[in-house]
């Protein structure tokens, strides 16, 4: 039993990130620790496993679940895992596959889930009631665990999944040109390319094994700095074993593990990953060409047809999702071509994977529930403060909203149903005319009834956009505004656009 955090895994930058962390920030190759929070006198409680995000190159398992647990009556156990990052976890090439393993970081996650099955009873947890969860790359990891080994594992490792903003970058075959070139670039930076691609006496792999951690870390930083903005150098690959198929294809076939899914995305996922100087047709096309190099001019023309634009100027304001201007060219962050790019990136990388996952768990004795986090400004990652807190830590979220979101997670972990009481759903408005709420009777997602719960707020005081923050609502008059909507017709036909991305996913590849 430990009373202090172990080292974090090496990050793609020179220092570990400080968010969601406490204690020493040292990093090490010896980093496969997990952190368990167990209520006093816990016995046979459901278990929530958290897989951190960070683009498969950053992050750690030091998440504090205290507010989430307290808000839910301390009725489950939490486990936060760590996994190898960057080249330590996701270096890939034909040589590496032959001499070692690819997707080492995903194997770390898989082994952590096996550890939970073996040992969680020692902490008062029930191994037959496990929910895996994650946000961003953590959500993408949940997706890949759902797909692990072709979806043949049933519920042997977990029963439920929560995927927040599931990150789906380009997923190449393990020996494809892109991951192989990153392997060689990494080897070159580490001093392992002298005399060509290895030699008879020492392979690149042997050379890398002999290098110290500092040399490998410096090589990681250099290679990561050289890739296109909005992308990462070291990512999961299709390996034919743990990861057998592209998500777009396997999820369509509903070959998944576990029984139930809660999945969602944020209203504005794209700005952090999209260059913010796109203001013309030519600039948009240039960005698309660099983002999707495998696409022909005809393919790019199809994208523009699916993403028409009408508003090229005007004020910034959030869309309703159901009527009026849509996310195609309007948001509280940007308008026109810039918003067009932001939305394309968001749907391709985070939003459509959430749709595909929801569809994969609909029917066939499985259940799925879908939501969108729309509280202004709704940027990527801002939902985490909603379900983990600390309470009162985010000026853009009321504590009523946070408690409701925490109860959504807690009820899903303990009951496999995210519906919450009207008292929690409406919060401070519980005595008003809004005595019921869509979150109180959350319908399952299905292809015929593709409902999502839109998690938003109303009231409050608008804090305008400035040089450091986007606009948001704040203040004591903020109220929860949770509504049901058709996710396929949402934002002027998002479902059809996700179907389009699936149709061309083999080219991306995704």
238-252 pLDDT, tens digit each: 999 999 999 999 999
* Range of weakest confidence among 9-13, 165-169, 297-301, 476-480: 9-13
Question: pLDDT tier at 171 (50, 70, 90 boundaries)?
Answer: very high
Q: What is the dihedral of CA 14, 17, 21, 22, to 10 degrees?
A: 40
Q: Which residues pair with 379 in a beta bridge?
A: 268
Phi, then psi, of 363 in degrees rounded to 5: 75, -175
Higher pLDDT, 26 or 46: 46
pLDDT tens digits along 204-228: 999 999 999 999 999 999 999 988 8
The arithmetic mean of pLDDT across residues 92-104, rounded, is 96
The pTM is what?
A: 0.95
How far is Cα 245 from Cα 290, in angstroms, rounded to an integer? 25
How far is Cα 283 from Cα 306, in angstroms, rounded to an integer? 18
Q: Minimal CA–CA distance to 401: which of 503, 508, 475?
A: 475
Q: How many CA within 13 A on the CB side of residue 7? A: 12
Q: Burial-class residue 323 by CB neighbours within 10 Å (0-12, 13-18, 19+).
A: exposed
Helix (H, G, I), strand (E, B) or coil at 463: strand
pLDDT tens digits along 111-166: 999 999 999 999 999 999 999 999 999 999 999 999 999 999 999 999 999 999 99
How far is Cα 28 from Cα 51, in angstroms, rounded to an integer? 19
Question: pLDDT tier at 19 (50, 70, 90 boundaries)?
Answer: very low
Which stretches of 362-499 are assigned E, i.e. beta strand?
A: 367-373, 451-458, 461-463, 472-474, 479-486
Asked whether residue 26 carries a pLDDT value surpassing 90, the answer given is: no
Strand order across the beta sheet in which 160-164 lies: 34-37, 77-81, 45-51, 125-135, 160-164, 260-266, 367-373, 451-458, 479-486
DSSP state of 61: S
pLDDT given for residue 476 in this prediction: 93
Structure tokens at 157: 């490792």
pLDDT given for residue 193 in this prediction: 87
How far is Cα 391 from Cα 307, in angstroms, rounded to an integer? 38
Asked whether residue 434 carries a pLDDT value surpassing 80, the answer given is: no
Asked whether residue 255 carries a pLDDT value surpassing 80, the answer given is: yes
The arithmetic mean of pLDDT across residues 457-475, rounded, is 92
User: Which is it for the CA torsion 206, 207, 211, 216, positive or negative?
Assistant: negative
pLDDT given for residue 436 in this prediction: 61
Where do the structural domains in the chain lie, given as residue ranges? 177-225, 271-503
Question: pLDDT tier at 1 (50, 70, 90 boundaries)?
Answer: low
pLDDT averaged over every residue in the chain: 93
How far is Cα 357 from Cα 368, in angstroms, rounded to an integer? 8
Q: Do the beta carbons of residue 454 and residue 484 sit within 8 Å?
A: yes
The arithmetic mean of pLDDT across residues 249-265, rounded, is 99
Task: Count Cβ neighbours within 10 Å for each residue of 471-481 and write b for 16 or more, e otherwise.
Answer: bbbbeeebbbb
How far is Cα 47 from Cα 401, in angstroms, rounded to an integer? 23
pLDDT given for residue 231 in this prediction: 86
* Range of weakest confidence among 114-128, 139-153, 257-271, 427-441: 427-441
Structure tokens at 145: 């665990």
Residues with Cβ < 8 Å from 223, sequence gap 6 or more?
Answer: 87, 182, 185, 186, 189, 233, 234
Helix (H, G, I), strand (E, B) or coil at 251: helix
pLDDT tens digits along 286-326: 999 999 999 999 999 999 999 999 877 889 999 999 999 99
Distance of CA 509 to the CA centre of its chain: 18
pLDDT given for residue 311 in this prediction: 74
Q: Which CATH superfamily is domain 271-503 in?
A: Alpha/Beta hydrolase fold, catalytic domain (3.40.50.1820)
Structure tokens at 250: 């396997």
Question: pLDDT tier at 12 (50, 70, 90 boundaries)?
Answer: confident
pLDDT given for residue 201 in this prediction: 60
pLDDT given for residue 314 in this prediction: 83
* H or E segment and range at residue 218: helix 213-225
pLDDT tens digits along 319-352: 999 999 999 999 999 999 999 999 999 999 999 9
Asked whether residue 195 carries a pLDDT value surpassing 80, the answer given is: no
């Amino acid at each position: 039993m430990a009373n202090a955090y172990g080292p974090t895994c090496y990050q793609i930058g020179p220092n570990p990130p400080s968010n969601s962390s406490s204690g020493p920030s040292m990093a090490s190759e010896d980093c496969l620790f997990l952190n368990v929070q167990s209520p006093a006198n816990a016995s046979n409680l459901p278990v929530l496993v958290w897989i951190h995000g960070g683009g498969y190159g950053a992050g750690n398992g030091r998440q504090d679940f205290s507010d989430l647990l307290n808000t839910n009556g301390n009725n489950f156990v939490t486990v936060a895992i760590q996994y190898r990052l960057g080249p330590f976890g996701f270096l890939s090439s034909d040589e590496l596959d032959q001499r070692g393993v690819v997707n080492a970081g995903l194997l770390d996650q898989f082994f952590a889930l096996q550890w939970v099955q073996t040992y969680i009873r020692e902490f008062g947890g029930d191994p037959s009631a496990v929910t895996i969860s994650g946000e961003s790359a953590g959500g993408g990891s949940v997706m890949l665990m759902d797909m692990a080994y072709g979806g043949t594992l049933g519920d042997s490792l977990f029963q439920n999944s929560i995927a927040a903003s599931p990150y789906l970058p380009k997923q190449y075959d393990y020996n494809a040109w892109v991951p192989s070139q990153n392997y060689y670039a990494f080897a070159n930076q580490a001093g392992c390319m002298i005399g060509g691609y290895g030699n008879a006496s020492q392979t690149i792999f042997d050379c890398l094994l002999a290098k110290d951690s500092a040399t490998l870390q410096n090589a990681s930083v250099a290679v990561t700095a050289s890739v296109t903005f909005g992308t990462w150098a070291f990512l999961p690959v299709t390996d034919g074993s743990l990861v057998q198929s592209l998500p777009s294809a396997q999820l369509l076939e509903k070959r998944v593990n576990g029984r139930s899914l809660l999945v969602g995305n944020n209203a504005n996922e794209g700005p952090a990953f999209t260059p913010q100087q796109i203001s013309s047709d030519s600039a948009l096309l240039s960005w698309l060409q660099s983002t999707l190099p495998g696409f022909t001019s005809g393919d790019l023309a199809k994208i523009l047809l699916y993403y028409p634009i009408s508003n090229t100027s005007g004020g910034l304001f959030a869309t309703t999702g159901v009527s009026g201007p849509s996310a195609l060219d309007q948001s509280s962050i940007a308008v026109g071509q810039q918003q067009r790019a932001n939305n394309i990136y968001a749907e391709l990388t985070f939003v459509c994977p959430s749709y595909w996952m929801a569809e994969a768990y609909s029917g066939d004795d499985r259940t799925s529930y879908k939501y969108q986090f729309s509280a202004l400004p709704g940027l990527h990652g801002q939902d985490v403060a909603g379900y983990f807190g600390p309470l009162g830590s985010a000026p853009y979220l009321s504590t009523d909203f946070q408690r409701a979101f925490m109860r959504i997670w807690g009820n899903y972990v303990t009951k496999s149903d995210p519906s919450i009481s009207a008292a929690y759903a409406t919060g401070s408005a519980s005595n008003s005319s809004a005595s019921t709420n869509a979150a109180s009777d959350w319908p399952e997602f299905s292809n015929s009834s593709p409902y999502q719960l839109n998690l938003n707020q109303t009231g409050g005081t608008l804090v305008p956009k400035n040089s450091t923050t986007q606009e948001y609502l704040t203040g004591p008059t903020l109220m929860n505004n949770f509504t049901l909507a058709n996710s396929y017709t949402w934002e002027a036909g998002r479902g059809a656009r996700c179907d389009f991305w699936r149709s061309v996913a083999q080219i991306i590849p995704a």
